[in-house]
Amino acid sequence: MKESIEIFDLVKQAVVEAELVDEVTTDDFLVTQLEWRPVVIEATRELVRLRSPDLVPGHFHWDWTRKAAQLELLAVSFIAIRCDGSLQGLMKIETVGHDCRLPEQAGKPLVYIDYLETAPWNVKSLMKALDRPTRYGGVGSRLVEAAVRRSLAEEFRGRVGLHSLPTSERFYIEACGMTPVGRDPAKQNLLWCEFTPEQAEAFLTKGAP
């Protein structure tokens, strides 16, 4: 599946067309190592030099190539965003094995976002450290939107849940409008965030920030 979507070109200050695809391949995972990792390493070194290691995203150690074996799993989907010939974001979702934790919808099925990462040149704090312009905005939001739409397709009514990395909590709670449920000792004490059907609908109505 390929779908035309819009993201924001922060350099041109204009809305541009991008492509949302769920036909991710091993080559896409290799791209993250060949194109993303050098920028990740450079940004990390610069943030450490600036004595701002707390700004280093928790996902910087991820290696997507290790997930290639999961491409054939029926309950797992990888979704990517491409723009201007480059991979701008990548997400892994699961449609079975996870339930809601909010009291009012506890035990109901949801779509679980296992991994979500935008290309490093789309992370404002990192590009500021490198004194470079951030390229695109809205990539992470568009991926979350894709997860919500998959939830609707699965008849989960838009319910989505995830364990947020510390550096992403503000994005999920404030930008997306998810509910922080609590920290999970079984998952490195990460914060569990969840969409209710009403929150999912409000997020889709609002559109990508």
Q: How confident is the model at residue 8 (pLDDT cuts 50, 70, 90)?
A: very high
Alpha carbons 116 and 162: distance in angstroms, whole number: 10
Tell me the Cα Rg of the chain: 17
Residue 134 has pLDDT above 90, yes or no: yes
Question: Would you state the pLDDT for residue 83?
Answer: 96
Residue owning tokens 């949302």 = 20
Q: How confident is the model at residue 59 (pLDDT cuts 50, 70, 90)?
A: low
Mean pLDDT of all residues in 153-172 = 95
Residue 111 has pLDDT above 70, yes or no: yes
DSSP collapsed to 3 states, the chain: CEEEEEEEECCCCEEEEEEEECCCCHHHHHHHHHHHHHHHHHHHHHHHHCCCHHHCCHHHHCCHHHHHHHHHCCCEEEEEEEECCEEEEEEEEECCCCECCCHHHCCCECEEEEEEEECHHHCHHHHHHCCCCCCEECHHHHHHHHHHHHHHHCCCCCCEEEEECHHHHHHHHHHCCCEEEEEEHHHCCEEEEEECHHHHHHHHHHCCC
Residue 2 has pLDDT above 90, yes or no: no
Residue with the bigger pLDDT between 78 and 63: it is 78
Report the CATH number at residue 103: 3.40.630.30
Residue 58 has pLDDT above 80, yes or no: no
Mean pLDDT of all residues in 24-52 = 87
Q: How confident is the model at residue 131 (pLDDT cuts 50, 70, 90)?
A: confident
Question: What's the pTM?
Answer: 0.93
* % residues pLDDT > 90 (the chain): 75
What is the per-residue pLDDT across 9-33, written as a single tens digit (0 to 9) for each?
A: 999 999 999 999 998 999 999 999 9
Question: Would you state the pLDDT for residue 129?
Answer: 78
Q: How confident is the model at residue 52 (pLDDT cuts 50, 70, 90)?
A: confident
The tokens describing 122, both together, are 């789309």
Which residue range forms the structural domain that includes residue 189? 2-206
Task: Give the count of domains, the chain.
Answer: 1
Question: Would you state the pLDDT for residue 1?
Answer: 75
